[in-house]
Amino acid sequence: MKKLVFVILALALAGASYYAGRSSAPPPGDRATPERRVLHYTCPMHPAYHSDRSGDCPSCGMRLEPVFADPSRTPLAGGSGTVSTPPGALQIDSQKQQALGVRVEEVKRSEGTWSFRTTGRVTPDEARLYRLNASTDFWIREVFAPTTGSIVRKNDPLLSFYSGNFLGGAAAYMYALDTVDRLKASKDNNAEQANVVNLRLRQAVDALRTLGVSDYQIDEMARTREVSDLVTVRAPVSGLVLSRNATLGQYIQPGTEIYQFVDLSRVWVLADVFENERPFIRPGIGVELVLVNSTRRLRARVSDVPPQFDEKTRALQVRIETDNPGGALRPGMFVDVEFETALPPAITVPAEAVVNTGLRRTVFVDRGDGYLEPRRVETGWRAGDRVQIVKGLMPGEKVVISGNFLLDSESRMKAAAAGVNPATSMDDVVCGMEVDPNRARTAGRTSVYRGATYYFCSDECKKGFDQEPARYARK
């Protein structure tokens, strides 16, 4: 009887233990994942330092962080597939991404127009710049009103001077005029005589012009048949007086620049353009000039002359040619220049998405389920807040556009802790992922084709290359 009671109690105790174990066991969906193997411990501030056991960094005293053995391809949540995890890849859940301010954007191929504004400086058109130089020595006897900055009209008087050679030249000119008149009045004139007389008249006119006598004064002498004691210098063109080197009683030597004029009917504008804006500047494109502190706008065009580099401003100077109605633009003035250009179809991302270290440019690609992959890219032109991606991204992928610098710092530390040098990494020609040559060589993921060695991030990429090497080698 006692033996039967003992057996019943033993069975009851075993049953209670079994049901207690089932009630305390986690459901199948909540089973804890096995712990990952720790490779070594490293310091967050000194990633090059490795230790086999946990503790404090001997250099800075910070707590050492474990570095786990990450497989080359990590299963996605839910068993939907695998995702590549190159050196420096991060896994951050959505809540932490939101806390860090991480935002993503889908990569698209787009086109459109882009407008940008820069500063331009008005300069004279060299084809409309005039310098009045002395052709002989003389003494200035009279100076008229126009000074530097004055607006003059053609043939306005500037100064009068005395020259001993003028009276002799004027007398020869008057004699040639009288000879022409007598020949016209004579009835027995012939063509040979007329040619000789006209030749002497042209010689007399050229002699006066050499002395600095204007055509206006020469025509006046022919009309009035009177000779003045002084030569009057007149404005050769209507425009602005840029400089004046003439005072009463001054002695002028041959070759001295007395006046400088500019015709303001058409001017140049030199606009400063930086190197990243250079691809959008083409000869002949239209621009708008906006006068400072004014609502007035002028249409202009870019000259065919290539831009010149200015060492002082470290910018390219683009020449813009424009009409100047009313002389509103004066040399030395500053204006706003608005360019509008069409952008060619291209893959672009926000400029904030690209982390530029000076040696390389990196973006973080969202591979799903919190995996963020650092990927090296090649960039082209920049238009406003958009940057062209020449190589490294495909339409449809998603890139991080905010919080990149925090991710880049963590990615660098992780890559350094794993012994990967980003400066020596290469691209997998199959998938475009960065590959550390040493790790790929150790894993046997290399192939040689036509004398060149190719490195791969996974066995699948190596297998794909070996099947069609000519296709991928062209990249």
- CATH number, position 152: 2.40.50.100
Shared domain for 165 and 252, answered yes or no, is yes
Instruction: Report the candidate in 120, 129, 126 with the shortest Cα–Cα distance to residue 241.
Output: 129
CATH for 329: 2.40.30.170
Determine which helix (DSSP H) or strand (DSSP E) holds 122, and give its type and residue range: strand 108-124
- pLDDT value for 195: 86
Whole-model pTM?
0.54
Answer whether residue 169 is part of any domain: yes
Answer whether residue 26 is part of any domain: no
Q: If DSSP codes are grouped into helix, strand and coil, which group holds residue 10?
A: helix
Answer whether residue 62 is part of any domain: yes
Judge contact between 133 and 236, C-beta under 8 A. no
For residues 206, 209, 214, 216, the Cα torsion angle rounded to the nearest 10 degrees is: -10
Answer whether residue 249 is part of any domain: yes
Question: Which of the listed residues 210, 240, 262 is the one where a domain comes to its end?
Answer: 262
Instruction: Give the separation between CA 33 and CA 191, rounded to whole angstroms.
Output: 119
What are the DSSP E strand ranges found in 404-462? 426-427, 434-435, 446-449, 452-455
DSSP assignment of 180-222, as one string? Answer: HHHHHH-SS--HHHHHHHHHHHHHHHHHHHHTT--HHHHHHHH
Shared domain for 293 and 232, answered yes or no, is no
- pLDDT value for 312: 81
Question: Which of the listed residues 218, 246, 262 is the one where a domain comes to its end?
Answer: 262
Answer whether residue 171 is part of any domain: yes
Shared domain for 161 and 211, answered yes or no, is yes
Answer whether residue 312 is part of any domain: yes
Answer whether residue 87 is part of any domain: no
Q: How many domains does the chain divide into?
A: 4
Shared domain for 244 and 283, answered yes or no, is no
- pLDDT value for 16: 47
- pLDDT value for 124: 92
Residue 53: give the domain boundaries: 32-69
Shared domain for 230 and 270, answered yes or no, is no
Phi, psi of 442 (to 5 degrees): -65, -40
Tokens representing residue 37 in the block: 């193997």
Question: Which of the listed residues 280, 300, 335 is the one where a domain comes to its end?
Answer: 335
> What does the chain come to in residues?
475
Shared domain for 247 and 322, answered yes or no, is no
Shared domain for 298 and 211, answered yes or no, is no
3-state helix, strand, coil in the chain (%, to 5): 30, 35, 35
Shared domain for 257 and 269, answered yes or no, is no
Mean pLDDT in order along the chain per 10 residues (475 residues) = 49 48 44 57 66 77 67 41 58 79 85 80 92 89 91 92 86 89 78 84 89 88 88 90 92 91 92 81 86 82 87 86 89 89 81 81 84 83 81 85 76 63 67 73 84 84 86 75
Instruction: Give the separation between CA 274 and CA 316, rounded to whole angstroms.
Output: 6
Shared domain for 310 and 200, answered yes or no, is no
Q: Strands 138-143, 251-252: parallel, antiparallel or unpaired by DSSP?
A: antiparallel
Shared domain for 257 and 308, answered yes or no, is no
Q: Strands 315-323, 65-68: parallel, antiparallel or unpaired by DSSP?
A: unpaired
Shared domain for 219 and 294, answered yes or no, is no
Shared domain for 258 and 145, answered yes or no, is yes
Answer whether residue 358 is part of any domain: no
